[in-house]
Chain A
Amino acid sequence: MSSSIAISGVDRIYTDTDGRAVQALKSVDLDIKSGEFISLIGPSGCGKTTLLRLIAGLDRPQNGQLSIDGKKITGVDPERGYVFQQGSLFPWLDIEHNIAYGLRARGKLKNSRKKVGEYISMVGLEGFEKSYPHQISGGMAQRVAIARALINDPKALLLDEPMGALDSFTRADLQDKLLELWKEKGTTMILVTHDIDEAIYLSDRIVIMTPRPGKISRVIDVDLPRPRHRGGVGFLAMRKSILELFELAQAQPQPEYVI
């Protein structure tokens, strides 16, 4: 199950604590194909999380329109799952009940109790059903968050730096898990990250965003064959070209000092 998402002419302006207007997003256009794995990448303040929250329906744009399968996005919907950076698990529920939350909230738990067990083993957390979130590691907690989002069978999964707080080994592990789940479910994946390697390793396309005001500066097709090799020639070449893009994008006149 997957769906396409269309974003056209989206503006989002915040008012900060001093009452000044901050343009978080400026005329953003993007079409995400059904079943695509797409990454939003850029330095902090470029509006990538803002864009993700708009797609989720947690926030509304001032101008422009977002739609999913031709339907306008007006609010949150379980058909668009969301994985937060960290700490979004309910600390008072054990792992099993955290994962089952969506089913219970939509009144579907009775008919699909078995599904909870399936999703627990899908993310490799058998034996931790009765543990509470504070008793498990950060990587396990993010796997719970992913299983919790996927149990609602979303057509699109929105991931807000889900691996940002993890060490590099756990991160690589979770990236492979995510690819595995994507292949299995075919869900449209939208990943916000600041890790270039992660974006290249996972995505079909990489959206590069720049700050002040937040906008899309480039969209790059990653046409490397899967499974990808993190040290492969194509991989490294792409990495280099993206890094160069960022340096260009951030190039500002530097003061010169002559001694």
Chain B
Amino acid sequence: MSTATVKLSSAVKENSSDRPKTVWDYKNNTFLLLKILFTVSGFIIAIIVNIFFPQKAAVELKNYGVSIASAVIGLTINDVYRAILVGLIAIYAFSGIRSFADTSDRKRYCKNAAFRFALGIALAIWDIGGTKLQVFAQPFFPGPAQVCEAYLADGKYIVQNMLYSLRLYGAGFSCGVLLGVGTGILIGWFPKVYYWVFPVLKITGVVPAVAWMPFALTLLPNSFTAAVFLIVICAWFQIAFLTAQGIQSTPKQNYEAARILGSSTPDLIFHVAIPHAMPDIFTGISSANAMAFTTLVMSEMLGQPGGLGYYINQSKVWSAYYKVLAAIVIMAVLFSLINHIIGRIKKHTLRWQEGVVKK
């Protein structure tokens, strides 16, 4: 026991004689700076590979004239690829510098550094295997620069198709959410509606929306409304189901408290039942959203005069797989963005839950 005490006191002495140690982690500025360099170095390597690695395979580096502010500039596919890499470097460097201000941002940035570095290296390897040497099976696996060719050759057309997809999605999903929340409230609040409508919803809800396509295409005036209809029903059932569940699970005590405080029946619906159902409504919206993307692309592939799904189908006919990949990249970015926006709205609406629900 006495030796332990001695050891302890000597340890205390050593520590106190030392200077306060600087911790080598994300709280340290130099550490964070090195992490930023580490993050962007992957993409810098990808640029260096693209510039200096010899072009062995026979890939035509066509010069496309792109008009920017009334001047026409000749761009090759490698120029666009490099520009995208520079853009990524700028974005990550900027977010790194911005994270200096906030501890949790710093931590997250440092955690993501290795993955982002690997992303750059993966692009470099893809570049070598795809464009430079063409060791992957062609034309199915073009290099990243070749994928960029789609944006050069078809830029305007891709944007048109993207807007078509967005319009379709916007019209279908917003109607689906409105109808879903509306029916969900009716089912959740009125036992009669629950009795008559809920079984129908339960049975038709499990059928994938695209199964209705033959009816949609023949019975509705044009293919656009047909696709909107499909997205509406795929969102509708899911959201209605969860909204009803949220309304029904409102604790009786909440209603009693509200009634005693002077709430009328509409007040109970709008100020007690719906706020209580909000978390469930958003669960419904999130999962319906994923299904809406599937339905959107499928219906575009099967009978739409436009849209990213249509563009993929059309490119496939010409074996232009680089265009298919280009469209897939756009979809990934676009759908992630939509998810992100919905997530933001959800976080704001459900801010009262922060700290209650385990994330």
Interface residues of A (CB under 8 A from B): 56, 58, 76-78, 80-82, 84, 87-88, 90-94, 101-102, 104-106, 132, 134-135, 148-149, 152
Of B82-90, B122-130, B146-154, B249-257, the segment with at least 4 beta carbons within 8 Å of chain A is B249-257
A148 near B352 with CB under 8 A, answer no
B9 vs chain A, min Cβ distance (A): 40
A105 CB to nearest B CB, Å: 4
Who on chain A is nearest to B259 by CB?
A76
CB distance from A215 to the nearest CB of B (A): 25
Q: Is the CB of B262 within 8 A of A106?
A: yes
A92 close to B253 (CB less than 8 A): no
User: Which residues of B248-291 are within 8 A (CB) of A?
Assistant: 251, 253-254, 256-264, 267, 271-272, 275-276, 278
Does B271 lie within 8 Å of A105, measured CB to CB?
yes
Q: Please, how many angstroms separate the alpha-carbon atoms of A92 and B258 in the complex?
A: 13
What are 28 A-B contacts defined by CB distance under 8 Å? A56-B260, A58-B256, A58-B260, A78-B260, A78-B261, A80-B260, A81-B260, A82-B257, A84-B256, A88-B254, A88-B257, A90-B275, A91-B352, A92-B276, A92-B278, A93-B275, A93-B352, A94-B352, A101-B258, A101-B261, A102-B261, A102-B262, A104-B271, A105-B262, A105-B271, A134-B355, A134-B356, A135-B355
Chain B interface residue count, CB cutoff 8 Å, equals 22
Residues of B with C-beta under 8 A to A76: 256, 259-260
Q: How far is the CB of B29 from chain A (nearest CB, A)?
A: 34
**Residues on the B chain within 8 Å of A87, using CB:** 251, 253
Closest B residue to A58 by beta carbon equals B256
By a beta-carbon cutoff of 8 Å, the part of chain B in contact with chain A is 251, 253-254, 256-264, 267, 271-272, 275-276, 278, 352-353, 355-356
Closest to A134 in B: B356
Which of A77, A92, A94 is most buried by chain B, counting CB atoms within 10 A of its CB?
Answer: A92
Whether A91 lies near B356 (C-beta < 8 A) is: yes
A81 to B262, CA, bound (A): 10
Distance A252 CA – B355 CA, assembled complex (angstroms): 50
CB-nearest residue of chain A to B274: A92
CB-based nearest A residue for B354? A132
Residues of B within 8 A of A91 (CB): 352-353, 356
Chain A positions within 8 Å of B262 at CB level: 78, 102, 105-106, 152
Minimum C-beta distance from A103 to chain B (A): 9
**Is A90 within 8 A of B260, CB to CB?**
no
CB-CB under 8 A from A135, the residues of chain B are 355
Q: Which of B253, B262, B276, B352 has the most CB of A within 10 A?
A: B262
Q: What's the minimum C-beta distance from B291 to chain A, rounded to whole angstroms?
A: 27
Closest 7 CB pairs of A and B: A102-B261, A106-B262, A92-B275, A78-B262, A105-B262, A88-B257, A105-B263
Residue of B nearest to A104 (CB): B271
- Interchain CA distance A23-B259 in the complex, whole Å: 26
Q: Quick check: A90 and B254 within 8 Å, CB to CB?
A: yes
The answer to whether A84 and B352 touch (CB under 8 A), given A92-B275, A92-B276, A106-B262, is no
